[in-house]
Amino acid sequence: MMPRLGEKYNIEIETISKPPEEYHTDEYFELDLPVAPAVMVEKEIVVEGSGVSEKKLVSVIQRHLGLSKQESSGKGIIERLLKR
């Protein structure tokens, strides 16, 4: 899901993967990062300690990019104009 959303919205996706025991060290907590597994968009923690729905993640990405739901609906301009 993440690579596809990165391509769709032309955003960089960074994945950090470590052995589970490294997420429980003092050094990790000093980084002020969320408890893994987690998803962040910029500095906003979308979900921490569990998975995330694509719908919720898309909503947060759109908000951070300043997109309205209409702009990001995937419909072409002709389809949007005909709906008026």
Q: 17-33 pLDDT, tens per residue?
A: 888 888 889 998 898 88
Bridge partner list, 45 = 40
Residue with tokens 């995330």: 52
In percent, how much of the chain has pLDDT > 90? 39
Q: What is the mean pLDDT of residues 43-67?
A: 91
Average the pLDDT over each of 14-18, 31-35, 66-70 and give the range with the smallest value: 66-70
Strands 38-41 and 44-48: antiparallel
Q: With contact defined as beta carbons under 8 Å apart, do 46 and 39 qualify?
A: yes
- Of the chain, the end-to-end C-alpha distance in Å amounts to 32
